[in-house]
Amino acid sequence: MKTRLSCPCGAAITGSDEDDLVMKTQEHLSESHPGMEYSRDEILFIAY
C-alpha cells in the first residue's frame, strides 16, 4: 500500500491509507497548485 508522496514543490504528503493519501494530495493541489489536477491512478503512480 502506498501512503507517501513528495510533491515537486517540497511538500511531503502522508496518508493513513491510499484513499487518505489521494484525498490529501488533491487538497494540496487545490490549495497550493490551482488548476493542477491528478487522478487517483496518477497520484498512486508517483506515490511510494
Structure confidence at residue 15 (pLDDT):
98
Look up residue 46 and give its three cell numbers: 508517483
User: How many beta carbons lie within 10 A of that of residue 1, not counting itself?
Assistant: 9
Query: What's the total number of domains in the chain?
Result: 1
DSSP calls for 25-37: HHHHHHHHSTT--
For 6-43, the pLDDT digits (tens) are 999 999 999 999 999 999 999 999 999 999 999 999 99
Domain boundaries, position 38: 4-46
- β-pairing, 4-6 vs 12-14, is antiparallel
d(CA 23, CA 8): 18
- The amino acid sitting at 21 is L
